[in-house]
Amino acid sequence: MAVLAENADTSLMAEAQETINRYVEPGLGKERSVQTYNETCDKYDEYTGAFEYCGPAYAAKVMRDLYPDKIQRSRVRILDVAAGTGLVGAEMKKLGFKNMDALDPSKGMMDIARGRGCYNKLYIDFIGEYDLNISGDTYDAIVMSGGMGENMIPVSAFIEMTRIVKPGGFIVNVTRIEHLENCKDYVGNLEPMLDKLQEAGRWTEVDRISFPNFLRGKEGIALIHKVL
Say what the pLDDT of residue 2 is: 40
Say what the pLDDT of residue 53 is: 95
Say what the pLDDT of residue 5 is: 44
* Every domain of the chain and the residues it spans: 10-50, 55-227
d(CA 215, CA 225): 23
Average pLDDT across the chain, whole number: 94
Instruction: Please state the pTM of the whole predicted model.
Output: 0.93
- The CATH class, in words, for 55-227 is alpha beta
- Among candidates 193, 125, 204, which has minimal Cα distance to 158? 193
Read off the pLDDT of residues 7-22 as tens digits, 9 standing for 90 and up.
456 788 788 888 888 8
Upper half-sphere CA count for residue 173 (Cβ side, 13 Å): 23
